[in-house]
Each structure stands twice: as structure tokens, then as C-alpha cells.
């Protein structure tokens, strides 16, 4: 019986610890889309994966009223960057002009994009202990 009570106590403390490390919710609002065509996606990166590897998490939705809200849950404190894409033709990738310029609207978190491809320095934002909302213009 003591062993059973001991196991229950360990289980309860483990569950409490897991709940404490739950992370926060990062909400991405994009209010200024050109239209309601296609899909809008957002990808969450850390510095090691930004523009180099698969995102840590991704979210996609269909626009309504020329806007979308995308949510990332259980994000741990740290530095992150978000890249968004309005995939107008729903082909699952960004389309480019022959000159190399994007045909479809995109945006990044942080201070905003400078001329050229997105950089970590432009996109970086900090997640702390509170849920946050980020507005991204495309």
C-alpha cells in the first residue's frame, strides 16, 4: 500500500511539473490581406532553423474578411521568428517572378522586413512567460 501511495505522489508531482512547463500561446494576426483567395500560413522558427531548416511549428488557415488569426501553443520562453505566406493559388509554396521577386504576399514578425530576403535580425521577437499577440503586415 505504501508503494502505491508513493507512486501516486510521484505521478501527481510529475503532472504538476509538466503543467508548469506548458509554455505560452503566440497568436499571429494578419489584418490586411489583399483578398480571401487561397490559404495563409505561418511558420515558427528559432535562430538555428530560420531560413535554413523546417520550422519548429506551422499553422495554416483560409482567410475570411481579408484577415486571419493563426495560433502557436506551448511555445517555451526564448527568441523566435515567424514567416507568413498568403499562398494565393493554394499550391503549398511561394511562387516567384522570373526575376526572383515573390509573386505572393509574405510577412515576418519583429521589426519588419528590410529590402531583400527576411533576416533573423528583422524577424526576431522574444517569448517570455505571458501569452502574446503579434500583428504582421503583408
Q: Say whether pLDDT at 71 is over 60.
A: yes
Q: Say whether pLDDT at 13 is over 80.
A: no
Sign of CA dihedral 35, 82, 91, 115: positive
Query: Which pLDDT belongs to residue 113?
Result: 57
Query: Which pLDDT belongs to residue 83?
Result: 96
- Which has more pLDDT, 113 or 83? 83
- Which has more pLDDT, 15 or 49? 49
Query: Which pLDDT belongs to residue 5?
Result: 38
Rounded to whole angstroms, the Cα distance separating 116 from 52 reads 16
Tell me the pTM.
0.82
Q: What is the DSSP letter of 74?
A: E
Antiparallel, parallel or unpaired: β 68-75 and 78-87: unpaired
Query: Which pLDDT belongs to residue 20?
Result: 57
Rounded to whole angstroms, the Cα distance separating 130 from 101 reads 37
Amino acid at each position: 500500500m505504501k508503494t502505491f501511495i508513493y507512486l501516486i505522489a510521484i505521478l501527481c508531482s510529475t503532472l504538476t511539473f509538466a503543467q508548469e512547463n506548458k509554455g505560452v500561446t503566440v497568436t499571429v494576426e494578419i489584418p490586411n490581406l489583399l483578398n480571401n483567395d487561397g490559404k495563409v500560413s505561418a511558420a515558427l522558427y528559432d535562430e538555428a532553423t530560420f531560413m535554413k531548416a523546417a520550422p519548429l511549428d506551422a499553422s495554416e488557415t483560409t482567410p475570411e474578411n481579408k484577415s486571419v488569426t493563426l495560433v502557436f501553443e506551448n511555445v517555451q520562453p526564448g527568441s523566435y521568428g515567424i514567416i507568413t505566406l498568403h499562398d494565393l493559388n493554394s499550391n503549398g509554396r511561394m511562387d516567384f517572378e522570373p526575376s526572383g521577386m515573390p509573386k505572393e504576399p509574405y510577412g515576418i514578425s519583429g521589426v519588419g522586413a528590410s529590402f531583400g530576403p527576411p533576416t533573423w535580425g528583422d524577424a526576431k521577437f522574444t517569448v517570455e512567460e505571458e501569452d502574446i499577440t503579434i500583428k504582421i503586415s503583408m
